[in-house]
Amino acid sequence: MTFAAEKTFTLEGIGIPDTSLAREITQFVRDTESALLFHHSSRVYYWGALAGKRRGLKFDRELLYAGAMFHDMGLTPAHSSAHERFEVDGANAARDFLSSHGIGQDDIDTVRTAIALHTTPGIPQHMHPVVALVTAGVEMDVLGLTYAEYSDAERAAVVHAHPRSDQFKEDIIQAFYDGIKTQARHDIRQRQGRRARGKGPGFQARQFLQRDSGIGLEKLTSRARSRAAKDADAKTMLGTGRERRMHDDRANRHR
């Protein structure tokens, strides 16, 4: 997947803010994320903004754009830490970027909260409109929970400008897994992670990533974390076994 299909467009009066900050956000995310995550994040902005307009909410589109575009930044190698959830890493990346551009602390806190809570069900909709709409956009794009609330024309226009890959369901869970696995290995080494359950040999993302499935982002990312933890634990055990065999071989040679 490439960036080639990306277009600047306006839909029902909603477009990417025509500001220097928004343009720098676009460039930063394009330079940092994969095309998959860039287009996903762009769609999240449009779904969220359209939802906000439909609900009659007053919100700062520049802050919504920042929250949408940075919400998965914690999955990238450049902004993923070994000890924080990817949502927190993304929130911190947004904080640093916005702070370096002179954005006020209250606005930074709003964007950080929107990113940090975007996989936590039942809370964002009761908070600041930007917080609510980032999650609304994510839930539409990944789970299709409000699919019927968008017209055919809206869905077609957004996906034409920012395409979904042919295997988006599998691709996005793989992106979660790839972004989380380093953290899982750290947790295993520190004995802080839970023993893995979930993504076993027969696992397929489509089993739970379905439109209107009722399964939220929290469970989706939890399963990716479980798979990552399982793989990390296996690698740790493999390493431990290898080290034990090497030690035994050395001991036998000296007998």
Please indicate, yes or no, whether residues 140 and 174 belong to a single structural domain of this protein: no
Phi, psi of 11 (to 5 degrees): -130, 115
Please indicate, yes or no, whether residues 171 and 198 belong to a single structural domain of this protein: yes
Domain membership of residue 36 as a residue range: 1-164
Question: In one letter, which amino acid is 224?
Answer: A
Please indicate, yes or no, whether residues 64 and 121 belong to a single structural domain of this protein: yes
Average pLDDT for consecutive 10-residue bins of the chain (255 residues)?
Answer: 62 93 97 96 98 97 98 95 92 98 98 97 96 98 94 95 91 89 53 39 39 47 58 49 49 50
Per the structure, the count of domains in the chain is: 2
Please indicate, yes or no, whether residues 173 and 138 belong to a single structural domain of this protein: no
Say what the pLDDT of residue 181 is. Answer: 76
Helix 35-55, helix 168-189: angle, nearest 10: 110
Tokens standing for 54? 């439909």
The Cα 172–Cα 37 span in angstroms is 8
Residue 236: C-alpha distances to residues 160, 175, 201 (Å): 44, 22, 18
Q: pTM for the full model? A: 0.75
Please indicate, yes or no, whether residues 94 and 125 belong to a single structural domain of this protein: yes
Say what the pLDDT of residue 5 is. Answer: 47
Say what the pLDDT of residue 21 is. Answer: 98
Please indicate, yes or no, whether residues 156 and 172 belong to a single structural domain of this protein: no
The Cα 61–Cα 235 span in angstroms is 44
Q: Looking at residue 20, what DSSP letter applies?
A: H
The Cα 110–Cα 63 span in angstroms is 8
